Structure 1
Amino acid sequence: MNTFEYDANPGRVIFGSGSIKKLPDEIRRLRLSSPLLLTTPRQANLIDLLESVLSSSSPSIKPAGTFTKATMHTPYHITQEALSYVQTITADCIVSIGGGSTTGLGKAISFNTGLPHISIPTTYAGSEMTATLGETKDGHKTTRHDRKILPGTVIYDVDLTTSLPASISATSGANAIAHAVEALYAPNGNPITNLLALEGIKALAESLPQIIQDPTSQPAREEAQYGAWLCGTSLGTVRMSLHHKLCHVLGGSFNLPHSETHTIVLPHALSYNAPAIPGAMAKLASVLPGSDGDAIKGLNALLEKLRVKRGLKEFGMREEDVQSAAEIAAENPYANPRQVDLELVKELIRRCWAGEEARADF
């Protein structure tokens, strides 16, 4: 076995149906009492749920305020508005509830203020398990990595995911799989991360098609949430590569939707790196149903089952943007197992734009 280093991220996880009811106990455990409640405009009704849980279980815990403007790709101006709001209240912690947009803003506020962060995910985004913060400013998305960014507690309550539409569940789950796939060939990967990644991919690859068939299936929802947790954890311990660089560029510079972009890029980025990662390809194929030993075939088959859109043009990207996207991605690339070649990356993005099925011919 090769030598390696493994840094486990600190954090506490509360998992299970109805676990949101444990939120008051968790706030008390931290010796806190005045949370800032955080979500997006579309999920503002979840604030009512949090307030109900807090008021019925612990009259000593009273929200210091609410902020419902969390936005995709964590725009800098929204973060600044939230930080200004925090200065007007007496919050001693943050409770974020929602998907990656809410988690991202919660991480930004926590990092800038030092307030403890309790994250309650309602999708399979996985951001709650990484110490990475991606922020968008002036059309560019940048990332920073710091242990202080990581939420201190994550509450996974499957009941909060049962109303997630099947189509959003599919792309959110594929986004989680993308985290783990990239972790398999990360430059600082290790056997422990690989175990987490493969188990997470397996759980999602088996549960997501079931959710498409029956979005109310509790066992499938639990398996998907478990898988997303592991996928996020695996990415949270390694460095990101070409896949995430492309998605940061496409999301931050062209305002493409987060999970849908990850879903589309996933098999093509893997195809690009395939010649340099035969071991990771074999491991991935072993946990993808119907792969027949071919990881790219397995991913294509899974995305077909999930009935997801495969072309960035379906989300508003213009063909003339392909060149500039490739240039931005190649200008300052993340560490990657295969050299980042501008013309090949341009072809990769073109295939993503056109919605072509991934093929191993890079």
Structure 2
Amino acid sequence: MRFDHDTLAQRVRFGSGLAAANLAAEAEALGAARLMVISSPSSRAVATRIAADVPVAHWHDEVVMHVPVEVASRARAAAAAHEVDALVSVGGGSATGLAKAVALTTGLPIVAVPTTYAGSEATSVWGLTENARKTTGTDPRVLPRTIVYDAALTVGLPVELSVASGLNALAHCVDTMWAPRTDPINQALAAEGIRALHIGLPAVTADPAGLDGREHALYGAHLAAVAFASAGSGLHHKICHVLGGMFDLPHAQTHAVVLPHVLAFNAPSAPSAERRIAAAFDAPSAVDGLAQLRAQLDAPRALRDYGMPAAGIDAAAAAVLAAVPAGNPTPVTLENLTTLLRAAWEGTP
């Protein structure tokens, strides 16, 4: 056994009902006196409540999916105008992504308070969209210093969005198994993430107000993101980044739809990873385990349901082909990639 493994330096505060206290403690630890709180209008009430005891210099609510460059530019200008010394993101991946865009050019520290299972808070990956093209990269400046996890904040997330967001987290786990920098540590984290999500997501759908399922889902989502941050972006995420930037598709639902197709595509060529995924699902095969979970959750099924045009399949396939990571288990061609995308567009099992 031989590998090199990177672990990102980050504090995690996990506790249901403790977001306000933990955020205040982190602001004090940072010595922050002028915070910029980034949250969408729909998350403003939650953000106001948990930031009641910290010094907020500016509330910023222009949060847009896939972080358009012009939105990032305005947020950076606001941070400078209000002379903020730290950033707080409250919400899903779009809020975290905007905070990262500001940190990328300013170096300001981020305290992330997630209200979904997106996982962006545990990675040093940033993304910006310009002219229908999403560009991503990694930079240590964008990694939040601290994550404040509070499962109680996810109770307001509707079941449908909880499912999509949780399957996005599951995609981090699956992609980790064959990502460019995968190693046994990443794979162990990903397998435990799958196990936790396999417990948590059905519990969320059965009892949306219950904390047990949401705590399992949040714990699994964190493990998924930590594994993904170290292992890198595999084929699944390359596909979803292209689709999101090209067609402005909703992030979580796109991942939820594409995941089973990439798993079926790669699993036959990665028997060791396939066995680990199957074991985490406690299923005869990885594909069966995911299919059973998706049926239980009534998961999103087709890209066409979220606005992707059929005429865009060929262009998307060409764009993805140019971004396919080296070492993908199954050799990728324009032909089999087009077949995969058409199946995801149609919602074919």
Q: TM-score range by the shorter chain?
A: over 0.9
1:184-240 alpha-carbon deviations (Å, 9 max, x no partner): 112321111111100011000111011111101111111111111101110010121
1:282-361 matched pairs, under 5 angstroms? 282-289=275-282, 291-292=283-284, 294-335=285-326, 336-357=328-349
Residue 165 of structure 2 corresponds to residue 176 of structure 1 = no
Give the Cα–Cα distance (whole angstroms) in 2 for the partners of residues 62 and 128 of structure 1: 22
Q: Normalising to structure 2: TM-score of the pair?
A: 0.97
Q: Which runs of 4 or more aligned residues in structure 1 lie more than 3 Å from their structure 2 counterparts after TM superposition?
A: none
- Which amino acid is the alignment partner of residue 49 of structure 2? L
- Which amino acid is the alignment partner of residue 39 of structure 1? S
Give the Cα–Cα distance (whole angstroms) in 2 for the partners of residues 315 and 149 of structure 1: 29
- Which amino acid is the alignment partner of residue 306 of structure 1? L
Give the Cα–Cα distance (whole angstroms) in 1 for the partners of residues 10 and 301 of structure 2: 35
SS of equivalent residue, structure 1 residue 185? coil
- Which amino acid is the alignment partner of residue 337 of structure 1? P
With 118-127 and 337-346 compared, the bigger mean Cα shift is at: 337-346
Q: Would you say the 8 A contact 1:186–1:337 is kept in 2?
A: no
1:42-121 matched pairs, under 5 angstroms? 42-52=42-52, 54=53, 61-121=54-114
Q: How far apart are 1:309 and its partner, in Å?
A: 2.1
Q: How far apart are 1:158 and its partner, in Å?
A: 1.0
Give the Cα–Cα distance (whole angstroms) in 2 for the partners of residues 239 and 13 of structure 1: 21
CA-atom RMSD in angstroms: 1.1
- Residue 234 of structure 2 corresponds to 241
Q: How far apart are 1:242 and its partner, in Å?
A: 0.9
Q: Structure 2: any 5+ residue segments left out of the alignment?
A: none
1:62-92 alpha-carbon deviations (Å, 9 max, x no partner): 2110110111111111000111111210211
Q: Normalising to structure 1: TM-score of the pair?
A: 0.94
Give the Cα–Cα distance (whole angstroms) in 1 for the partners of residues 17 and 204 of structure 2: 20
Give the Cα–Cα distance (whole angstroms) in 1 for the partners of residues 336 and 230 of structure 2: 28
- Residue 201 of structure 2 corresponds to 208
Q: Would you say the 8 A contact 1:268–1:352 is kept in 2?
A: yes
- Residue 360 of structure 1 corresponds to none
SS of equivalent residue, structure 2 residue 117? coil
- Residue 15 of structure 1 corresponds to 14
Q: Would you say the 8 A contact 2:164–2:300 is kept in 1?
A: no
Q: Structure 1: any 5+ residue segments left out of the alignment?
A: 55-60, 358-362
* Percentage of matched positions with identical amino acids: 39
Q: Would you say the 8 A contact 2:180–2:325 is kept in 1?
A: no
With 81-90 and 244-253 compared, the bigger mean Cα shift is at: 81-90
Q: How far apart are 1:337 and its partner, in Å?
A: 2.6
Give the Cα–Cα distance (whole angstroms) in 2 for the partners of residues 73 and 343 of structure 1: 28
Number of residue pairs aligned between Structure 1 and Structure 2: 347
Q: How far apart are 1:275 and its partner, in Å?
A: 2.7
Give the Cα–Cα distance (whole angstroms) in 2 for the partners of residues 150 and 347 of structure 1: 36
Give the Cα–Cα distance (whole angstroms) in 2 for the partners of residues 63 and 150 of structure 1: 21
With 300-309 and 113-122 compared, the bigger mean Cα shift is at: 300-309
1:89-238 matched pairs, under 5 angstroms? 89-238=82-231
1:132-180 alpha-carbon deviations (Å, 9 max, x no partner): 1111111001111112211010000111011111111101000000001
